[in-house]
Amino acid sequence: MAKFIDEARITVRSGHGGAGCVSFRREKYVPRGGPAGGDGGKGGDVWIVANRNLATLLDFRYQRVYEAPNGKPGQGGNKAGRDGLDVFIQVPVGTIVKELESGEVLADLATESDRLLICKGGRGGKGNSHFATSTNQAPKFAQPGEPSEEKLVRLELKLLADVGLVGYPNAGKSTLISKISAARPKIADYPFTTLVPNLGVVRAGKERTSPTFVVADVPGLIAGASLGRGLGTKFLKHLERTRRLVHLIDGAKLLKEFGTEDVGEFANAVVRDKEIIDAELYTFSPDLAGKPQIVTLNKCDLFAEEFLSALKKKLSALKYKNMAFISGVSHLGLDDLVRRLAKELGDEAREAG
């Protein structure tokens, strides 16, 4: 699998305009021909273009300078110089282009074929034929081409997904995305198995016409992530474009810590784990923390029906009435969760449109 790179710094430079030409007609029987200097060609532009076939900024680790050709100088006989070819830099959809020094956002290339003219090529200079007048019929000067433009640019990739999965490491996010989509992330029984974001397309039904949505799985968070613990909040920017979050809570972890004798203590632990991760989300971005969430207890196949029924009542009393209870391994509750997500996303889209 190609290495996932979500940030890059590059230098972009347009082409210099070609100089105009100083030339005069020198033909038989025309001993004093007029000025005949052609115009210089325009320098090439540099464009940044969103391409849905790309998924990483890896290529920019190997090429950091992108330069368009200069325009060619004009020639005698009123021949114009050739324009420099434009350069098109392909980036993944979801790339934000920033000026490196100021941090100013120049463009958010959020849809296929969005493009940004990042550096405009210099205009070609006019040849001396443009400057002939009644008092100066043989001008011996022409315009130089306009200079090129150069910018230092920062590229930041934010994945485009409808739903983001958040939670502690080993909460089962990668298993969940592998069960409800065709994504195949690395899955193992140790923390921080997921080291890069994963995307999966989910279809809410077996028919081809069933609604679909995209889910993003990012490395797990721990308390203190905003201070640099664990993998920190490095990948949380990929959830900023999502429309809602599925907040996974690891039922196996809580079972090991608290057992099933005290349902109230277990319910309080569910709330505690959620609030810890919510605090990390808020530290990173209040907007991200404010996104609608479906709080989901995972690995529920480990619990008896009687315990789950009592736990739901306790959580409902703690204002967690719309929680989902699933098991990614045994597929328990996954169809209901997918249908719920599809309905909420569809309702939101209809309200917005």
Confidence of residue 1 (pLDDT cuts 50, 70, 90): very low
User: Who has greater pLDDT, 5 or 49?
Assistant: 49
Q: What is the pLDDT of residues 83-100, one digit of tens each?
A: 999 999 999 888 999 999
If asked whether residues 245 and 205 sit together in one domain, one would say: yes
- Is 65 within 8 Å of 169 (Cβ atoms)? no
Among the candidates 138, 157, 176, a domain finishes at 157
Same-domain check for residues 192 and 339: yes
The answer to whether residue 180 sits within a structural domain is yes
pLDDT band at 33 (very low <50, low <70, confident <90, very high): confident
Q: Which two tokens stand for residue 39?
A: 């115009």
In a domain, 341, yes or no: yes
Residues 173 and 285 in one domain: yes
pLDDT of the residue at 193: 41
pLDDT tens, position by position, 296-324:
999 999 999 999 999 999 999 999 988 99
Residues 188 and 143 in one domain: no
- Identify whether 1 is part of a domain: no
Residue 189 has a pLDDT of 46
Average pLDDT over residues 192-210: 73
Query: What are the tens digits of pLDDT across the range 111-170?
Result: 888 999 999 999 999 999 999 888 888 899 999 999 999 999 999 988 778 999 998 888
Picking from 103, 126, 157, the residue at the C-terminal end of a domain is: 157
State whether 308 and 186 are in the same domain.
Answer: yes
Q: Do 133 and 205 lie in a common domain?
A: no
CATH assignment of the domain containing 147: 2.70.210.12
Within-domain flag for 144: yes
* CATH number for 178: 3.40.50.300
Question: Is it the case that residue 220 has pLDDT exceeding 80?
Answer: no
Task: Please identify which residue in the block is written with the tokens 């920017």.
Answer: 237
One domain for residues 146 and 174: no
Please report the pLDDT score of residue 214 as a whole number: 87
Same domain, 235 and 314: yes
18: DSSP letter:
P
Residue 260 lies in a domain: yes
CA 229 → CA 181, 220, 226, 232, 273, distances in Å?
30, 11, 7, 5, 16
Assess whether 18 and 54 both reside in one domain. Answer: yes
Say if 211 falls within a structural domain: yes
pLDDT at 2: 44
Q: Residues of the chain with pLDDT > 90: what percent?
A: 56
How far apart are the C-alpha atoms of 315 and 311, rounded to whole Å? 6
Instruction: Read off the pLDDT of each residue in 325-330 and give the average, rounded to a whole number.
Output: 92
Burial class (CB in 10 A: 0-12, 13-18, 19+), 246: buried
2: in domain: no
- pLDDT for 227 equals 53
Q: Per the structure, how many domains does the chain have?
A: 2
The pTM of this model reads 0.71
Comparing C-alpha atoms, which of 227, 234, 176 is closest to residue 200?
176
- Specify the pLDDT at position 188: 42
114-128, 190-204, 274-288: which has the minimum mean pLDDT? 190-204
User: N- to C-terminal Cα distance for the chain?
Assistant: 38
Structure tokens at 246: 């599925």
Query: Where does a domain end: 137, 157, 177?
Result: 157
- pLDDT of 190 reads 38
What range does the domain containing 218 cover?
163-352
